């Protein structure tokens, strides 16, 4: 059930008004997107994950537009995964998800914040619309599993559950060495038996070093601590038999750096270390028998970039900000304070 919203103009009305106008002629403030740059960034990411054979989940919070979401999805992969930060983003992008499903592609949308009870009713309606395996949620405390159960009851489908892991920021998530802190993991096991969700279907880490990436692919080691966490909790994870665990790693500088590993880039020792780390996760070499880790990368701001993202030099092929940043804000200056003083 969607809540009342201010009605947005139709695409046709917007085209009639904006087409042919110069960026200086549009009502301000206005966010102006460079479609050619966005298309290039999105395709580069899709090429990179395909080359490495890893999963990918596109975050929409940076742009919140149907058009860019379609570019992030590309046209090849049968599996299309998104992550959102608000329920409104899911509601707005439903036509995109519907089109992708009608084209025979499997769509999964992750609600990317720990599940609040206040959003269950709206999410249940969206889960029903998306269908089985269409919605996933994040938990980082046992108390949230009650909302997972209610979501399943109202939506009619079990939902995928990502267990949020804190790998250094200390702002959210469970410590890697204590995924069962407060009984979060242990409590989730009975939930799966009741068909409420699929706990441990994924682990979602956030890594503080990713925002300090300096373009060296060897620094972008995905999920090292998280592989150890999976190994340490293998008995709990395998208590109901063999299973696949998705390790979803996200931060645009690190994820963008994998584009250095495509066939168009020259390989070096750092890139070889990153390839080896990815292979380790995919093969489950450090996990217990029966525990099959699957690596998934997620990112969002890569689609448009900004000054901070360009400054990380995460891709060796990045040009200057005028060549790479795909968003500009057209605005008026309200005054000249230098003259006033």
Q: What is the pTM of this model?
A: 0.83
What does the pLDDT read at residue 48?
87
Q: How far apart are CA 149 and CA 219, in angstroms?
A: 40
Q: In the structure encoding, which two tokens stand for residue 228, read together? A: 């150890």
Residues 6+ apart with CB under 8 A from 215: 257, 260, 312, 313, 314, 315, 316
∠ CA 32-68-113, nearest 5°, is 105
Total Cβ atoms within 10 A of residue 179 = 25
Residue 1 lies in a domain: no
- pLDDT category at 199 given cuts 50, 70, 90 is very low
Judged by average pLDDT, the poorest of 5-14, 82-91, 207-216, 327-336 is 207-216
Q: What is the pLDDT of residue 254?
A: 67
Backbone angles phi, psi at 307, to 5 degrees: -60, -40
Domain hosting residue 81, numbered range? 30-332
pLDDT band with cut points at 50, 70 and 90 for residue 132: very high
Within-domain flag for 210: yes
Structure-block tokens of residue 283: 């093969």
What would the DSSP string read from start to end of 117-180? GGGHHHHHHHHHHH-TT-EEEEESSGGGHHHHHHHHHHHSS-EEEEEEEESS--SSSB-GGGTT
Find the mean pLDDT for residues 118-146. Answer: 93
Percent of the chain with pLDDT over 90: 38
Q: Is the pLDDT of residue 192 over 50?
A: no
Is residue 144, in this structure, part of any structural domain at all? yes
CA distances (Å), 164 to each of 66, 126, 199, 202, in order? 27, 22, 11, 9
Residue at 99 is within a domain? yes
Q: Rounded distance, CA 47 to CA 291, Å?
A: 28
Residue 339 included in any domain:
no
CA 111 – CA 123 distance, rounded (Å):
9
- Span 288-337, pLDDT tens digits: 667 677 788 899 999 998 887 787 777 777 788 889 999 999 998 887 77
Q: What is the mean pLDDT of the chain?
A: 78
CA 129 to mean position of chain CA atoms:
21
Give residues with Cβ within 8 angstroms of 339, minimum separation 6: none
Digit-coded pLDDT (tens) for 236-247: 666 666 667 788
Is the model more confident about 175 or about 162?
162
In the chain, pLDDT over 70 holds for what percent of residues?
66
Q: Evaluate whether 233 touches 185 at the Cβ level (below 8 Å).
A: yes
SS3 of residue 188 by DSSP: helix
User: Is there a domain that residue 62 lies in?
Assistant: yes
Q: Note whether residue 192 is domain-resident.
A: yes
Average pLDDT over residues 145-173: 84
CB 195 within 8 Å of CB 158: yes
In a domain, 45, yes or no: yes
Query: For 60-108, what is each residue's pLDDT tens digit?
Result: 999 999 999 999 999 999 999 999 999 999 999 999 999 999 999 999 9
Instruction: Specify whether the CB–CB gap between 321 and 308 falls below 8 A.
Output: no
- How many independent structural domains does the chain possess? 1
Q: What is the pLDDT of residue 124?
A: 97
Higher pLDDT, 289 or 225: 289
CATH of the domain at 253: 3.20.20.10
Q: Which of 8-17, 101-110, 205-214 has the lowest mean pLDDT?
A: 205-214
Say if residues 54 and 297 touch (Cβ distance below 8 Å): yes
């Amino acid at each position: 059930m969607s809540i009342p919203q201010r009605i947005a103009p139709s695409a046709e009305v917007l085209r009639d008004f904006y087409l042919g106008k110069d960026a200086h002629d549009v009502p301000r403030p206005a966010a102006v997107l460079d479609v050619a740059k966005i298309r290039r960034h999105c395709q580069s990411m899709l090429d990179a994950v395909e080359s490495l054979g890893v999963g990918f989940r596109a975050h929409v919070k940076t742009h919140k537009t149907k058009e860019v979401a379609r570019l992030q999805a590309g046209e090849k992969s049968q599996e299309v995964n998104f992550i959102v930060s608000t329920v409104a983003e899911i509601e707005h992008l439903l036509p995109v998800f519907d089109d992708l499903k009608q084209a025979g592609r499997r769509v999964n949308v992750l609600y990317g914040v720990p599940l609040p009870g206040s959003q269950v009713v709206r999410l249940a309606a969206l889960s029903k619309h998306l269908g089985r395996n269409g919605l996933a949620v994040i938990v980082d405390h046992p108390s949230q599993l009650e909302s997972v159960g209610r979501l399943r009851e109202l939506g009619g489908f079990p939902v995928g559950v990502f267990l949020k892991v804190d790998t250094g920021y200390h702002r959210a998530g469970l410590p890697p060495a204590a995924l069962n802190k407060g009984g979060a993991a242990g409590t989730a096991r009975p939930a799966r038996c009741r068909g409420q969700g699929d706990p441990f279907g994924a682990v979602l880490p956030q890594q503080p070093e990713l925002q300090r990436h300096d373009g060296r692919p060897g620094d972008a080691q995905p999920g090292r601590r998280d592989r150890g966490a999976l190994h340490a909790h293998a008995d709990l994870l395998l208590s109901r038999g063999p299973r696949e665990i998705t390790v979803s790693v996200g931060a645009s500088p690190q994820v963008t750096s994998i584009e250095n590993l495509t066939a168009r880039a020259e390989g070096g020792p750092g890139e070889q270390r990153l390839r080896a780390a990815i292979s380790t996760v995919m093969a489950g070499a450090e996990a217990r028998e029966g525990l099959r880790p699957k690596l998934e990368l997620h990112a969002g701001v890569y689609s448009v970039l900004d000054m901070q993202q360009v400054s990380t030099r995460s891709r060796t092929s990045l040009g200057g900000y005028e060549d790479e940043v795909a968003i500009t804000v057209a605005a008026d200056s309200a005054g000249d304070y230098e003259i006033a003083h």
